[in-house]
Structure 1
């Protein structure tokens, strides 16, 4: 099916959902067509011209991993200080106390996967038992190596947690 035909099919489906707003979905009768119609509408909205203020917001926040501009590009409000563009802010589950079993398990696996000296240096630092000089002396390494082990550990654990 060509892109043109697929878009035509989506337009037809969207028209149907708009004509039958409470149409229940076959596999899950508790769900209705509103969410699906909204997704189709957002997909088709990509063809609509982007407002200049939305384009500027997208350019500015494109690389931010904590903010995503809302796909509804027509929702812009102006006040005395500028424009408001709808966006979503990413909050980590931990920031609201929602660590979940999966996160704890991934952290434990990532910690266990670290080289032994890197893991021990990180744990000594995290427990607050020792400063860098004391940790360095305990393991027979320099304070710079202590810093490097901690950085390596944090990077590896961060990447493991992000892979979920």
Structure 2
């Protein structure tokens, strides 16, 4: 277990013991959490000296970033031929992995339902059934330009509906 994760686990355990100070230990009911909490505090207080200046530089550099976070208790720095590495967290937008919130999903469903039948069927054939524009055009007896126009119209309408607040 990485040191940072172990420290987080110990901090969580200490918080629990501080919230439940007379919590008895499972193996020996005569002992309570006081002794264990003091041992955890001693371990956590043995933090290395001040953070490496590289960490401070990384925090300054990325402070205004909305997608990168360097934990306040981070002390690990490694070096390779290209420079220094500081551990950080990267924020991933849920939409980038296909997650959408309930409000957006509802707006999408309403916008899709509000499309003209032909436009909706063209969009779904292309997106869900993975038919090419040429295949959709041939199946419906339309030109590829007409199919493209329907898809563009559908995406524009759906985009407007989802963007409404």
User: Would you say same fold, with TM above 0.5?
Assistant: no
- When normalised by structure 1's length, the TM-score is 0.43
Report which of the two structures shows the higher radius of gyration computed on alpha carbons. 2
- When normalised by structure 2's length, the TM-score is 0.43
